[in-house]
Structure 1
Amino acid sequence: MTYLYDIHCQHNDSLLSAGNFQLGEGGEVLKLYSEVEERCLDSLMRDMLRPFVPQYHGLVTRGEHCYIRLEDLLSGLRRPVIMDCKMGVRTFQVEELITARAKASMRSDMYQKMVNVDPSAPSAEEHAQKAVTKLRYLQWRDTTSSSSTLGFRIEGIMMDDGSIQRDFRNIRTLAQATEALLFFTRSHLDILKAYHSRLLALSEALKNSLFFRTHEVIGSSLLFVHDHSSKASVWMIDFGKTTPVPNMSQLLHDVPWAEGSREDGYLIGLTSLIASLGQAISVASWQQQDGCVGEKHVT
């Protein structure tokens, strides 16, 4: 959601330094430097996945900060509509889990985040302490969303009027995800088909990607972008938690995660999204045909 919100701000000539993003002099987007993300992007520029990630143009320094120079994914779009889908069955790193378990301190900030989403989620003891451990929060966050059931969750949608919708936490099933996709695209058949085609191409590229086989992809998103001209595309973004798998082993990405495993379930989420888009295309096609029949009947 940070990317979605900050880029929206920039394209509406508002806060140019909102969050971790700025606009570059050449029209590219500048993202606050992360060594992990920079290494990933550098590798991706030489991988099968290059057409599916924002183009990386090196580093630049502004004042005291270093930034990663990235392609502006909204260039050429008028009043873009954007959706951020967090991919995988878990959004925390194994190391985060180990650290959280070793340092089981109570966190009032995470308790508040939990209560804001679901006041009944904390136990009686946690309510009394008004705090939860980071381990408890990390596991709760993923298991109470479609991350656990579908392998992805919708972080937010920005419509063409700039309004941002974040309340998708109740989505648990493919049918509910399909409803969200129809809302996001306003049941526009060409846009739905463009997204479906792009994800099928991404699926093929992932099968042949050395980067994907050898990296644990955590906390990464698929960014869906379209406008009223029916231009539509999907991009892999956010690699700040994506790290190489130890000992040169390779991941499947399509099996559930179990503690001790490095599997992320990325392909579980991609398969769900492709299936959900297929369902949305069927619904939109039916709606279009039904509308035509209705018009003929009126005539």
Structure 2
Amino acid sequence: MGVNGQKFGMWNCFRGIHRRKGKKTALDLTAPASDAILKNRKNTWIQLAGHPGGFAPAGPNTIWKKRYTKDNNETQAYEALMEDTAHSIVPLFYREVEYNSEYFIEIEDLLQHFTDPSIMDVKMGIRTFLESEVSNTALRKDLYDKMVALDPAAPTDEERQSQSITKLRYMQFRENESSTAEFGFRIEALRMSGETPSTNLKRVKSKEQIHGILSKFVNNSRVVQQDLVRRLKEVKQHIEDSPFFMSHELIGCSVLVMHDKYDKCGVWVIDFSKTNPIQDGCEISHRLPWQIGNHEDGFLFGLDNLMQFFSDIEIKEELTENIEPSHVIADS
């Protein structure tokens, strides 16, 4: 496995120990003391993800994520995942919390294991909307106007004549504006170590644009590149072997990717608010094209492509001067 592989294996082992301890001490965590802390967004992961004000530091090494929907899908998903074979590829879940008449979930702050990391949030799947969200076939002028504002050339002649489109048409138009439709993922946000986050990336679409961002992200480090590809493969294997993942639609889920100056790397699946069990008993592969009713989401199709993009990054080897043997200092 080599030195770097040993470091990676030890890192996974450390997280496993942390998880077992965390589950025993879940009820001892400290809740935020006031509303002010809910506005404290110093944590870089918090800055990258979700709605403004939707995340807050909580107890030691945990964060709160606000629940925006009436249902508790995300809570149920995390509770199930803590007992699933794929529990190691998601943040540790502690509990659901009611605070000032609002609901939050308390989960592991993944940044606790890193030193000023570079972070990338990748939205997965060939669709990021639920089938129920596009079941209404009514024509809407407001969605037509939104589409024209983004791309005046997008409407068909028929749509121009009616000045309206369905929600499904609009949502698929939006998916085609990014790399979602073609590659099954899109880069939502990026933060390089020591820099401010970049979130205006949703229209990154071409292979060249994606390669450029991923090349920047690995910072010309072959160690980081190889470890991230290895971890992505592990995530894929966990998903394929998971009773939970293979029986749920994975809509709106993200892959969170991190590495720091010590070449410590990590990849996790996050965001389960739109993750629903497949009720009608059909099987999904997470790779097939979507048609209404087949529940396919393209998560693994996107993960396969993301792995390939990372694998294809060309690392520029730095030239080093030859050192005479007499000048080499032996390791102590």
Match of 1:3 in 2: none
TM-score where L is the length of structure 2: 0.75
Alignment CA distance shift 1:8-1:195 (3 Å): farther
Distance in structure 2 (CA, Å) of the matches to 1:162 and 1:62? 33
Letter in 1 for 2:43: H
Change (3 A) 1:114 1:91: farther
Q: Which amino acid aligns with 1:97?
A: V
Superposed displacement of residue 78, structure 1: 2.6
The structure with more radius of gyration: 2
Structure 1: how far apart are the matches of 2:209 and 2:252?
22
- Is there any run of 5+ residues in structure 1 with no aligned partner, and where? 1-5
The range that moved more, 118-127 or 202-211, is 118-127
Given that 2:147 and 2:154 are in contact with CA atoms closer than 8 Å, whether structure 1 keeps it comes out as: no
Instruction: String of CA shifts for 1:255-285, please: whole Å, max 9, x gaps.
Output: 11123321111111011011111111xx11x
Match of 1:58 among 95, 99, 120: 95
Say whether the 8 Å CA contact 2:186–2:204 is kept in structure 1. no
Which residue, out of 229, 235, 243, partners 2:262? 229
Distance 1:186 1:131 in 2: 45
Of residues 217, 235, 239 in structure 1, which corresponds to 2:272? 239
CA RMSD of superposed structures (Å):
3.0
Residue 181 of structure 1 aligns to a residue whose secondary structure is: helix
Report the equivalent of 1:9.
Answer: 41
Distance 1:149 1:62, change over 3 A: same
Does the CA contact (< 8 Å) of 1:114 and 1:137 recur in 2?
no
Contact (CA 8 Å) 1:111, 1:132: kept in 2 or not?
no
TM-score by length of 1: 0.82
Whether 1:276 and 2:276 are equivalent positions in the alignment is no
Amino acid at match of 1:93: L
User: Counterpart of 2:267 in 1: which secondary structure?
Assistant: strand
- Cα-to-partner distance string for 1:44-74 (whole Å, 9 max, x where unaligned): 1111210000110011222121210000011
What letter matches 1:44 in structure 2?
Answer: L
Q: Distance in 1 between matches of 2:239 and 2:56?
A: 30
Selected match of 2:142 from 78, 95, 107: 107
Instruction: Name the % identity.
Output: 31
Q: Which amino acid aligns with 2:293?
A: G
Deviates more, 1:264-273 or 1:126-135: 126-135
Match of 1:22 in 2: 56
Instruction: Determine if the alignment matches structure 1 residue 87 to structure 2 residue 124.
Output: yes
Task: Look up the match of 1:44.
Answer: 81
1:73-105 Cα offsets, whole Å, 9 max, x none, are 111323221111111111111111103x24x33
Q: In 2, Cα distance between the equivalents of 1:95 and 1:49? A: 27
Query: How many Å separate the matches in 2 of 1:182 and 1:228?
Result: 16
Task: Give the conservation status (yes or no) of the 8 Å contact 1:150–1:172.
Answer: no
CA positional deviation for 1:187 = 1.9
Question: Unaligned regions of 5+ residues in structure 2, if any?
Answer: 1-37, 323-332
Asked whether the equivalents of residues 39 and 53 of structure 2 are also in contact (C-alpha less than 8 Å), the reply is: no
Mapping 1:57-206, distance limit 5 Å:
57-99=94-136, 101-102=137-138, 104-107=139-142, 111-112=145-146, 115=149, 117-121=150-154, 133-165=166-198, 166-167=200-201, 169-173=203-207, 175-206=208-239
Matched to 2:97, the amino acid is: V
Counterpart Cα distance in 2 of 1:264 and 1:177: 21
- CA deviation after TM superposition for structure 1 residue 254, in Å: 1.4
CA contact (8 A) 1:27 1:72 kept: yes
Structure with the greater relative contact order (CA < 8 A, sep ≥ 6): 1 or 2? 1
CA positional deviation for 1:139: 1.1
